[in-house]
Each structure stands twice: as C-alpha cells, then as structure tokens.
Structure 1
Amino acid sequence: MHIKPRAIATVLCMIFFIGFAVCGVVRSTDKETSEIRQSYPVLAEAEPVIMADLLMESPDLEPEVKKEPDYPLTQEEIDLIALVTMGEAEGETELGKRLVIDTILNRIDHPSFPNTVYDVVYQPNQFSVMWNSRIDRCYVMPEIVELVKEELLERTNYDCVFFMAGGYSKYGEPLFQECCHYFSSYD
C-alpha cells in the first residue's frame, strides 16, 4: 500500500487544526465551532481555552511579593545608625562601614554601654561625628541603610566595640585594621 504525500499532508493539517481548535488558539465563528464539534464528538464537551486565559489564571506567574524581615530596631534607629556610619566611614570600604555598624550594635548589646541606639550614638566623646559638626553635612544613604539591615540579621563581627582612625584606641584590646580604622574589642 502506497500513501501519497498529499494525503499525509492533509491528515497532518487536520490534526494540527484540531489541536489548535481544542486549545482555542484558532478563533472561529460559532457556526464553524458547531460544525467542528459535530464532526468530532470528543470536542463537543470541550470548552475552548485561550492562551491569555491560561496566563492570567496561572498562580506561578503571580509576582512574588518579598516581605521585609522583622528587624529588632525601628526605621528611625536604623536611619540613625546609617547616618553615623556615613559620617564616620563615608570613604571606607563596605567592610569598614559594616564594622562601624557592628561597633554600634555590639555596644548596644554590651553591659558596659547604654542599651539603645540613641544613647550609644549620643554618649559623650564616643563618635566624633556627633560632636565635631560633621553630622550636619551627612544624610541617610539608602545603601548604608541596607548594610545596617543586613548587619542586624547577621553581623560581620561581634567583638569590635571601639574604633579610631590612624591607630588603636587606648581602650580595649586591638583586633585589626580595616582601611583607615583600627578596631578593638572590650578589655
């Protein structure tokens, strides 16, 4: 038995057309749809599905809303740490900024220092930016706010509580230098 190529092409076209009709890709008039359903009973119960409907109803295509984690500090406290960090470490590396943030957070947690952001930052003679008027030229940088939030979730260093530019503080045990700052732990 020899099958002609034209017959194969006709059958394939019909299969292709039926597939598109089932999926609703080929839009047809009500009369054409009725004729197709009469010719192919399996289609009589099938509702046409339109690709746009599939896309709209797919739960996988919903945009994912990322929920902000719960931070142990208020946004105002986070902004204050970011402001002090800009003042103290604006020209420092990202690591240097993180370590300044950690110094503030570590002091809040340490029993020898006040236990609030405000009290730690405004403690007399602690952060030079707070008493040498540099703070007046600083602003809250969004990228430093993000660093503060990241450090709140996982700190880079839990030991540093002192830092100075140019050399180690006379307080604490020297730890390491990062760029222009020298970091120390509590005695």
Structure 2
Amino acid sequence: MLLLARVVSGEARGEDYIGKVAVAAVVLNRMKSSRFPNTLKEVIYQNHAFTCMEDGQIHLEPDPESCHAASDAILGNDPTGGCLFYMNPRTATSRWMVKRISADAATVIGNHIFAR
C-alpha cells in the first residue's frame, strides 16, 4: 500500500480527498485490465505511466491523506467508475494523452479529467 500511497501523493498533491482516491483507483483499475500489467509494481513502474516516476516524487514519503485514499481505493472505492487514464489539462505535456483523454473523457474530479 505504501507504493500506491506514494503515487497518490505525487500525482494528486493539492487535490481533495476524493481526487486522491480517484488517482489510486486508476492505478488499481489498470491492474485489472488486460491492457496493462497485472501487478501494482509493474503498473506503477511502466515507462512514462506516471509523472511522479519521472520527476522523483515517488521517493517522497506520502502524506497521511494519500495513505488513507490508497486504502480506500483498495477497499473498492472508485469515484472514476472504472477509468484507466487521467490527466491535469493545465500541466499535461503528452500530446497522446491530451488527445486520448479529450476523446474518451468520462468524468472530471478536481483538477483531473478521467477517461476509460
């Protein structure tokens, strides 16, 4: 759970609690999808999957709220309804991701747009 909490902390810093749960849910949804690896570590360490892996935030200790959000997602809370992708349109730099999310947007939670 610590690894998931670190992703949540790095990816959803500044989001409210539900936004953090949503980010954790996306990671877990990827594990369940045949389109992604089936272990938490493999999903998180997949090349260019998460910004926190690129900028080193994955190595920071997560805040308590991120830990709770990760736990909540593990228990089955998924405010995204099964989404596999997300981005913050104000900070996104991947053209592929912007195009993908724009085409398949399912919901907006906080500063992130989520897509299937």
Same-fold call, TM cutoff 0.5: yes
Alignment of 1:57-72 (within 5 A): none
1:110 aligns with 2:33: yes
Runs ≥4 residues deviating over 6 A: none
TM-score by structure 2 length?
Answer: 0.82
Alpha-carbon contact 1:176-1:183 (below 8 Å) kept: yes
**Unaligned runs of at least 5 residues, structure 2:** 91-96
Name the structure 2 match of 1:15.
none
CA displacement 1:74-131 (0-9 Å, x = unmatched): xxxx100000100000100111101000000000000110000100001001101101
CA RMSD of aligned residues (A): 1.7
Displacement, 1:171? 2.7
CA displacement 1:115-153 (0-9 Å, x = unmatched): 0010000100110110122334x2122332222222222
Displacement, 1:176? 1.4
TM-score by structure 1 length?
Answer: 0.53
Displacement, 1:159? 1.5
Which protein has the larger Cα radius of gyration, Structure 1 or Structure 2? 1
Flag the 1:153–1:135 CA change in 2: closer, same or farther, 3 A: closer
1:150 aligns with 2:72: yes
1:90 aligns with 2:90: no
Name the structure 2 match of 1:166.
89
Alpha-carbon contact 1:163-1:169 (below 8 Å) kept: no
Higher relative contact order (CA 8 A, sep 6+): 2
Name the structure 2 match of 1:123.
46
Alignment of 1:168-183 (within 5 A): 169-171=98-100, 173-183=104-114
1:122 aligned partner, one-letter code: Y
* Alignment size in residue pairs: 107
> How far apart are the structure 1 equivalents of 2:81 and 2:109?
15
Percent identity among equivalent residues? 31
> How far apart are the structure 2 equivalents of 1:179 and 1:122?
25
